[in-house]
């Protein structure tokens, strides 16, 4: 048999990529569609075994309002905000300063510290469950917002510092040296020269870290236990004990819990994509 012409091979490969893309999108959307459809079903629909078909009765308003009326969902969402926003601010602030030091200052422990930040990202955080829990109890922080805030700032700092350091390495040293020659202090160089140049990276990092912290479930179970402090991920798990068969309410709560990260992404989409693209083009 004669080999296919190059243009035919290209068309065949393009079709294969499209098929793979469609399959990936379908597999990704199936659980989302299942949750969305369940969130508007009636309890009679679920008891009848209609899990995947079109709901016989749509209860969009009833299910979503009932979540706030009959459960502490509003408190769970507020707790997540009170935890996520300070944790993101703290992690990004600390990592930006640390990344600037690792990228632009030469000192003996520079390589060692950089290696420690890299190595720390490979430590399974689950093995630290008991020490971290005991530490928060000894410090009097257990079952408080501060327990999760301090934990996330500490554990996100490694990844964030590595992220920001890689961006700041690409900043020309001539800009910083020129500012120093003019007598500008190191703090003002960081604030007025470096930060404006890494703004897309800060936006991308903030969106990623906010999503990680908002969606955290493991540490929300380990470090808090009361409804007054419990974030929305652990709160959704608590709803299962209140409604043994009311999956429509749990699904509605899951949809509501997913809205803040999605809204943040679309709000900062331009900066987020610019940050990722900037990192991809650095060589």
CA–CA separation, 9 and 2 (whole Å):
13
Give the single-character DSSP code of 167: H
CA–CA separation, 59 and 75 (whole Å):
23
CA–CA separation, 94 and 97 (whole Å):
5
Instruction: Kindly report the pTM of this predicted structure.
Output: 0.83
Average the pLDDT over each of 60-69, 72-81, 136-145, 147-156 and give the range with the smallest value.
Answer: 60-69
Task: Give every CB contact of residue 45 below 8 A, 6+ residues apart in sequence.
Answer: 55, 56, 57
In whole angstroms, how far apart are CA 73 and each of 36, 101, 129? 18, 42, 26
Are 75 and 227 a contacting pair, CB within 8 Å?
A: yes
Task: Give every CB contact of residue 18 below 8 A, 6+ residues apart in sequence.
Answer: none
- Nearest residue to 247 (alpha-carbon basis) of 40, 4, 68: 40
* pLDDT at position 255 over 80: yes
- State the pLDDT at residue 257: 92
Residue of 89 and 51 predicted with greater confidence:
89
- State the pLDDT at residue 28: 79
């Amino acid at each position: 048999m004669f080999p296919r012409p190059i243009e035919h091979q290209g068309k065949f490969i393009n079709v294969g990529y499209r098929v793979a893309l469609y399959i990936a999108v379908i597999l990704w959307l199936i659980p989302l569609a299942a949750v969305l459809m369940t969130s508007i079903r009636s309890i009679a629909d679920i008891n009848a075994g209609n899990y995947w078909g079109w709901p016989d009765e749509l209860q969009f308003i009833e299910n979503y309002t009932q979540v706030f009326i009959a459960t502490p969902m509003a408190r769970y969402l507020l707790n997540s905000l009170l935890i996520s926003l300070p944790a993101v601010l703290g992690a990004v602030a600390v990592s930006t300063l640390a990344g600037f030091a690792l990228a632009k200052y030469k000192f003996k422990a520079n390589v060692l510290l950089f290696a420690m930040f890299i190595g720390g990202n490979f430590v399974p955080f689950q093995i630290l469950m008991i020490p971290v829990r005991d530490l928060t109890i000894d410090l009097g922080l257990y079952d408080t917002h501060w327990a999760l805030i301090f934990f996330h700032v500490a554990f996100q700092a490694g990844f964030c510092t590595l992220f920001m350091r890689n961006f700041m390495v690409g900043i020309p040293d001539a800009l910083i040296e020129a500012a120093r020659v003019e007598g500008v202090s190191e703090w003002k160089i960081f604030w007025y020269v470096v930060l404006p140049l890494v703004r897309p990276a800060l936006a991308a990092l903030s969106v990623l870290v906010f999503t990680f912290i908002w969606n955290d479930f493991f540490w929300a179970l380990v470090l808090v236990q009361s409804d007054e402090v419990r974030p929305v991920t652990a709160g959704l798990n608590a709803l299962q004990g209140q409604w043994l068969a009311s999956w429509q309410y749990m699904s509605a709560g899951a949809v509501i819990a997913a809205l803040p990260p999605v809204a943040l992404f679309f709000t900062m989409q331009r900066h987020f994509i610019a940050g990722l693209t900037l990192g991809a083009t650095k060589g």
